[in-house]
Amino acid sequence: MIVLINGSFGVGKTTVAKLLRESFPGSVVYDPEWAGLALMRLPKWIKFKGSGTDDFQDIALWRKSAVAGVRLFSRFARGHVIVPMTFSRRDYFDEVTAGIRLHNPQLRVFCLKASLQTIKKRLAGRGTKSAEAGWIERRIIECAEAHRDAHFGEPVETENRPAPAVAEDIVRRLQQPGATTVA
């Protein structure tokens, strides 16, 4: 099964993904952000569809690589492939989730939620660099708006909840008999 953990920057996706990996033996975490960061660092003379932006999700090759990475990791994982990723654009979300489902229809998508105040506090606590602050500020506001829509995943409240409790909530949902894929 593929478990996509969506949510705003600073909401706790990576922390929850690591806790989920510990809960399911043989599971792996695949973070497609690394491919995006690599694409953004390529020389300016290498042009991709969507390049020249401040968001690697705009690069069509990144969206394809996210799907390919999930497919590759699912071939080798004995358990779940857990994918922490922030999606606030419905078209990009749909493209990636449809690509994943094409090769593995067992996809569960959860969307972690918290108030803007809580997210800002968490980001400050992890030492987000001031150079990134404007971009992240804009993105967390976009995410707060977008993630009101259940299309972005089964809502999971993180407000005033420690990460282990959030992970346990998701584990329970994944273990429910007859649980269906959504998104």
Residue 168 placed within a domain: yes
Q: What is the CATH number of the domain that holds 17?
A: 3.40.50.300
Is the predicted pLDDT of residue 45 greater than 70, yes or no?
A: no
What is the value of pTM for the model shown? 0.86
- Domain count within the chain: 1
Q: Are 23 and 163 in contact (CB under 8 A)?
A: no
Helices of type H across the chain: 13-23, 33-41, 60-76, 90-103, 116-125, 130-146, 163-175
Is the predicted pLDDT of residue 50 greater than 60, yes or no?
A: no
> What per-residue confidence (pLDDT) applies to 183?
47
Residue 8 placed within a domain: yes
Q: What secondary structure letter does DSSP report for 11? A: S
Residue 23's Cβ-side half-sphere holds a number of Cα atoms within 13 Å equal to 23
Burial of 125 (0-12, 13-18, 19+ CB in 10 A): exposed
What's the average model confidence in pLDDT over 100-128?
88
> What per-residue confidence (pLDDT) applies to 152?
96
Is the predicted pLDDT of residue 24 greater than 70, yes or no?
A: yes
Question: Is the model more confident about 131 or about 34?
Answer: 34
Is the predicted pLDDT of residue 4 greater than 70, yes or no?
A: yes
Lowest mean pLDDT among 11-15, 92-96, 115-119: 115-119
Nearest to 36 by CA among 94, 76, 85: 85
Per residue in 162-174, pLDDT tens? 999 999 999 999 9
**Which residues, 6+ apart, have CB-to-CB distance to 114 below 8 Å?**
8, 11, 12, 122, 157, 158, 159
Residue 182 placed within a domain: no
Token reading at 39:
């694409």
Mean pLDDT over each residue of the chain, to the nearest integer: 86
- pLDDT confidence tier of residue 48, bands split at 50, 70 and 90: low
Task: Give residue 42's domain range.
Answer: 2-175
Q: Are 51 and 59 in contact (CB under 8 A)?
A: yes
Residue 124 placed within a domain: yes
Amino acid residing at 168: E
- Please state the φ and ψ torsions of residue 24, each to the nearest 5 degrees: -125, 100
Residue 149 placed within a domain: yes
